[in-house]
Amino acid sequence: MKWRLISVFVVIFSLFSFAQGRGSGGRGQGPGMGSGQGQGQGTMQMDQIRTQSSNEQRIQQRDQRRIHQGTLNDQAKQSGSWKMLQQKTGMSGEQLEKLYAEHRVRNYGQFGMAMVASKNRNLDSSQLLGHMAKGNSLQKSLEIQGLTREEARLQIRTAQREMYQSESPAAD
């Protein structure tokens, strides 16, 4: 009995919603909608522009993740985050490459975040990278350097944000 009542309610609600135009997106695009017909085209174009914009953002974020999750390669060296690391640390690209190779950090993103975190907290970046080369996570390495667990987490989030923001076109 309950299921019948619920199913009847769902059917009635669906029909009611569709009759009000919500079933077609609520844009009034169907025939016989009167003066609202022309507005449907503009709304569709705006939706397409929003979709394209959000797709471009998703592609850019995916590309950033690929750069940051991979090894230090030519694409990473051309990125905005690599330039930001050079400016923030005061090291040349060659010096950073040598430091990356010496410590064999898991990936470029971890290396970049460690460098940013060490500069933000005035820590020795070589020691921090050394702890990471021994198999410790960035958080654990920061804790070994004297930060509390919460400070280390906050510093990692800050470093990650700085890395991703430097990749945005506005940062160039």
Tens digits of residue pLDDT in 76-108: 777 788 888 888 888 888 898 888 888 877 788
Helix axis angle for 37-69 and 108-120, nearest 10°, is: 80
Q: pLDDT (tens digit, 9 = 90+) per residue, 12-57?
A: 767 666 666 554 444 545 555 444 555 566 676 666 666 766 666 6
Residue 148 pLDDT > 70 = yes
- Residues making up the chain, counted from first to last: 172
Mean residue pLDDT of the chain comes to 75
What would the two tokens of residue 28 be? Answer: 């009034």
More confident site: 104 or 71: 104
Task: Give pTM, 2 decimals.
Answer: 0.58
Could you tell me which of 163, 123, 162 has the C-alpha nearest to residue 144?
Answer: 123
